[in-house]
Structure 1
Amino acid sequence: MPTDDIKQVVLRFNREFLEKNNVEVLKELVADSFVNHTAAPGVAKDVSGLIHFIGMLHKGFPGLRIEIHDMIAEGDLVATRKTFHATHTGEIMGHAPTGKKVTFNVMDFVRVKDGQYIEHWGRNDVMQVIQQL
Structure 2
Amino acid sequence: MKRSPKPLPIALLALILPSPASIHAQTRRTPTQSSHHQGATMPATPQETVIRRYYEECLNQNHLELIPEIFTPDIVFHAPTGDASGYAGVRQASDRVRALFPDHHFVVEDIVINGDKGAARWSMTATNTAPIAGVPPTGKPITNSAVIFYRFRDGKIAESWLQMDQVGIFRQIGVPLPGAQSAPAAH
TM tier relative to shorter chain: 0.7 to 0.9
Structure 2 unaligned segments of length 5 or more: list them. Answer: 1-42, 174-187
By relative contact order (CA 8 Å, sep 6+), the higher-ranking structure is: 1
Equivalent of 1:5, from 40, 46, 60?
Answer: 46
| Residue 81 of structure 2 is aligned to residue 18 of structure 1 | no
Instruction: Tell me the number of residue pairs that the alignment of Structure 1 and Structure 2 aligns.
Output: 131
Map of 1:119 onto structure 2:
159
Cα distance change on mapping 1:59 and 1:127 into 2, 3 Å: farther
Change (3 A) 1:4 1:11: same
Identical residues among aligned pairs (%) = 29
**Which residue identity is paired with 1:16?**
E
Q: RMSD of the TM alignment (CA)? A: 2.5
TM-score w.r.t. the length of structure 2 is 0.60
Question: Post-superposition shift, 1:89?
Answer: 2.6
2:74 is aligned to 33
Q: Is the radius of gyration larger for structure 1 or structure 2?
A: 2
What TM-score, normalized to structure 1?
0.81
Q: Between Structure 1 and Structure 2, which shows a larger proportion of strand residues?
A: 1
1:34-66 superposed Cα distances (whole Å, 9 cap, x missing partner) = 112x23455434433332222122112111111
* Distance (whole Å) between structure 2 residues aligned to residue 131 and residue 22 of structure 1: 31
- Structure 1, unpaired ranges of 5+: none
Where does 1:1-133 land on structure 2 (aligned, <5 Å)?
A: 4-36=45-77, 38-126=78-166, 129-130=169-170, 133=173
